[in-house]
Structure 1
């Protein structure tokens, strides 16, 4: 059997029932980790857990509404109750509504900040609580090229991803002495369920989206979920034990400045 790079680790994933989060839940299981999946789609989570068990590992699903700080805390509490420790946290959950600065309303702003930043803040608080009990751990915050100013119709989203960079640097600087690491993974333009649904609502098919994105991106195509696997596994594994406070880009050459 190939080396399992996360063997015996316990990894929590927010947004683990969709997109890259779902993919990584199963990959972490394949790599030997026990996986705590936070999200709302129980059916998808159960399917992921069945797949994880085929690799000889295990997982649990924790119904999680990231608008609720108590749910954010409960995600980690349940993971600790089930497996006795927390080694890693992959913060994938996020929303990307249209939100130009000149027209963005308060509800849209609040929704974005509550899910993309506030939830991550309190999830990190809880991750640190349990990681320090186990001698350290790794936090991976999902970022975006939009954090470097962003496109005009994603103002709230850009701000939420920018403040996550500050949170990453804060954790990296202040908790390194406890062997708690934090890094920022800049994801590229990816045809996830949410992205495709958004573009469909705007009258653009997935094929049209892929063609438009391919013409824009320097490397000629959108990123697929599988493009992130090796980078995320590296950041969660002991191989990156001296890596903290870093911005790690997998973006097909995209950089919005």
Structure 2
């Protein structure tokens, strides 16, 4: 992909202080976008933005708790105030709770659903209000392969990620007339820590032969948000090295 594809566009990325979100911020900044780094982690978020600035890229940090509707509105308004437009939103922020369903408190359930799923709706709605004034835009919701498969004690997280998938196609239909495309990515194992510490069996269990990295998700986001891909909306793309297609039997 041409590295100037996103030159002159504004990208808001939630949960961008670290992990996949940070990788997405780095990728879009390198591709010429004006990047709004957002997170509740103020020190890490500011550091991410400053690192991008030090490399000559356009990036600023705007704190936002995506559980708060007012803060989401302020985030989108600040993005437009700083750059004059809002073209792309990546809903990446999320939390998890690994807890037995017998012990999971309703407050914990609500926090996961509000942080992961409700925030996607609120952020998409507020971003779309600005996007439609510029003729459209693109939204990518980051779900998880946990939306289609599970381990024990993941009820709240799985429910939130499944909701994101459903929300994606609903909003794609609703926002389509305004020129706004909405798509969804479900990452599998994306290592954001010490990749060189992974074991050979970690890699070999994947049909692709390796564990994923944030750049793999960035490439998928690039595809969905490329301004030329106007026919791609309402799509759910699993990026997991083939793991959800692998049948596993125990002998």
Give 1:159's aligned residue: 159
SS, match of residue 60 in structure 1: strand
Q: CA deviation at 1:211?
A: 5.9
Give 1:103's aligned residue: 103
Give 1:48's aligned residue: 48
- C-alpha separation between the residues in 1 aligned to 2:27 and 2:80? 20
Mapped contact 1:95–1:112 kept (Cα < 8 A): yes
Q: CA deviation at 1:47?
A: 3.3
Mapped contact 2:29–2:58 kept (Cα < 8 A): yes
Q: CA deviation at 1:34?
A: 0.6
Q: CA deviation at 1:96?
A: 2.0
Q: Does 1:148 align with 2:157?
A: no
Residue 121 to residue 211, structure 1, CA distance change in 2 (3 Å): farther
Mapped contact 1:100–1:156 kept (Cα < 8 A): no
SS, match of residue 255 in structure 1: helix
Q: CA deviation at 1:218?
A: 3.3
RMSD between aligned residues: 2.3
Q: What are the superposed Cα offsets for residues 59-111 of structure 1, whole Å, 9 maximum, x if unpaired?
A: 22111122212112211111111111110000111112203434322122111
Give 1:239's aligned residue: 228
SS, match of residue 228 in structure 2: helix
Q: TM-score, with normalisation over the residues of structure 1?
A: 0.86
Residue 217 to residue 3, structure 1, CA distance change in 2 (3 Å): closer
- C-alpha separation between the residues in 2 aligned to 1:47 and 1:137? 28
Alignment of 1:22-61 (within 5 A): 22-53=22-53, 56-61=56-61
Q: Identify unmatched segments of 5+ residues in structure 2.
A: none
- C-alpha separation between the residues in 2 aligned to 1:99 and 1:190? 22
Structure 1, 160-169 or 91-100: larger mean CA deviation:
91-100
Mapped contact 2:3–2:30 kept (Cα < 8 A): no
Give 1:92's aligned residue: 92
Mapped contact 1:99–1:108 kept (Cα < 8 A): no
- C-alpha separation between the residues in 2 aligned to 1:210 and 1:146? 23
Give 2:238's aligned residue: 249
Mapped contact 1:188–1:254 kept (Cα < 8 A): yes
Give 1:218's aligned residue: 207
SS, match of residue 62 in structure 2: strand
Give 2:16's aligned residue: 16
